[in-house]
A and B are shown apart, each in its own frame.
Chain A
């Protein structure tokens, strides 16, 4: 569908241009989280973005190219610098470890243009934010955006412990009346029922954090009668490692073995086949691919496909989903 219309008058380039950047600062926030700041190599300003947007960071790990999405947490009005905060994930596939262990100030990297899948609803009279752990990052940019226009917001932020409370100090210092912090190790819990019950008409609720928290907040909101359109969540599934499997790409006439530590999308890209993506986290739908033939079990991990589409075995989201079995043929 992109750039391949038969009447195409377009030049044959695919995707938005990447932003060539240099790492301008690295700040360790605590045992798990580190902030990385970037500036453009050409000295220009970054594109404007809206709070909630993410960028896909391209890491060259030896021969291997890693692409991981991170929320932009810097001030959307401050375009000389982009900043992300990366939580180290020792069980993951290595992207966050690579950032923590290998990246140094001055390194050159590439970022995608910002993409926002977690937008503020600008009709809201009030924005109610519920964050868990590293899920705080998109809210940091949204708070700055709302502060600039005098927006009405309130944050409820749950962390494991004071030691791991990224940005707690800054938030409670600047916005003491709008910020409430809860620590797991002190058995402090967000009193969600009361919180959701007492909101003024026209409030929108936003949640970002671990899957369990997102499910809990969404369920409670539904139970207390919140309209679905007023409840927003940001949920990236990082691709999970799994057993290697082989896949045939029909259009490209290529076969590739997807390694245990790489995603299907990464394996396709490794062959130089151009495959669309935006979020790389099963959320945006851009990478949806038709399955032409299969014999085995799909491990669908996205939240884009409908249940019946997942069962049909005719679609797969290669950014997060895997396959176990004998034959998998994709229309790519």
Chain B
């Protein structure tokens, strides 16, 4: 299948849109009618054909537009991309991982030709062709992490592993849900998670960290996280809160279906071979409420999840004020019927009620 890349924006006129294919493969994050934080990790070794879980780095119709948006954010604020000096090796590891994965999994879009340390990279969608020497920083226009993440959807945290902890010592962060790399740089796993409510008390972070420290080369893992965003904005950063925070007040019962988006992050974890660092790509998928409710099971379920979400979470995720408006809208699509277990939108196999 050849991908058609959308011409669209994530700012100003917000011409972002999802095709039917994008709607069908949206990573809906709720496997049951309620939600609470959990250590929800599983292996990232493929998934159903054409799902976002199938490839190591999913490339979809938003690729070209997302990369243009990233370039704009970086133009305004270069501190969105940082790498402490000892993380350069991890940057090369990441560059290799992405180039090898993409050229293997999307041979019609990406090519990598290697002769020893002399590499030739072709990125057709972005029209990039570069010859460079692997591990020689002087042969690329940017550092290795910045070079490759300007060509890959999703944010990237590159974590150094030492003292039984992970340290946010490098990253490319332009599509984040209200947190800042510049603030978190150099912090460890517990420090950067400090603002998250409830999860610390439940021991979730202690167990999650143990799991992450043990992630093996060749056995990547993944999990989903989610939040809410008004307008299809990629860059919801604290640095720009003054620009997007105010947009939350523009929601009305007329425009909510189109304007309110469920924001899902497909988070993956890969061990990097030379540096032993861990890379944490955070891939953001946006979908408007009106597209979500086009799948009856998802519409029913989203209503119940939003309705029953603990206040701490609704407030941390920044939609507590708009919750009543959301429920007015979503409840129209919830007829009270039972929903089937699991994340897939298979509305026609709703189980019959247990007798």
Contacts and interface: CB of A to CB of B under 8 A. Distances in A.
Contacts of A121: 162
B217 A114 contact: yes
A3 B43 contact: yes
Contacts of B161: 119
Contacts of B222: 10
A312 interface: no
A257 to B, nearest CB: 29
A278 B46 contact: no
Interface stretch (A45-53, A237-245, A247-255): A45-53
Given A16-B219, A47-B218, A50-B276, A285 B43 contact: no
Interface in B1-51: 29-32, 39-48, 51
Interface in B193-227: 207, 210-211, 213-214, 216-219, 221-224
A177 interface: no
In the complex, which range does the number of interface residues on chain A fall in?
A: 35 or more
A7 interface: yes
Nearest to B52: A9
Contact of A115 (B29, B89, B96, B217): B217
A15 interface: yes
In the complex, which range does the number of interface residues on chain B fall in?
A: 35 or more
Nearest to B93: A48
Contact of A1 (B31, B41, B87, B93): B41
Contacts of A2: 41-43, 211, 221
A11 B41 contact: no
15 contacts: A1-B207, A2-B211, A3-B42, A4-B42, A5-B40, A10-B44, A11-B47, A13-B45, A17-B218, A52-B276, A53-B276, A76-B274, A119-B162, A228-B163, A229-B163
B273 A48 contact: yes
A9 B47 contact: yes
A9 B51 contact: yes
What does DSSP make chain B's interface, helix, strand, loop or mixed?
loop
A122 B343 CA distance: 41
Contacts of A284: 214
What does DSSP make chain A's interface, helix, strand, loop or mixed?
loop
> Sorted from nearest, which 7 A-B pairs have the closest CB atoms?
A7-B31, A48-B273, A16-B219, A16-B218, A113-B218, A122-B86, A119-B276
Interface string B43-75: 111111001010000000000000000000000
A145 B42 CA distance: 32
A15 B214 CA distance: 12
Interface of B: 29-32, 39-48, 51, 53, 86-87, 89, 93, 96, 160-163, 207, 210-211, 213-214, 216-219, 221-224, 273-276, 341-343
A27 interface: no
A227 to B, nearest CB: 10
A2 B42 CA distance: 5
Contacts of B210: 285
A16 B218 CA distance: 5
A98 B42 CA distance: 36
A101 interface: no
Given A10-B47, A76-B274, A285 B214 contact: yes
A91 interface: no
Contacts of B221: 2
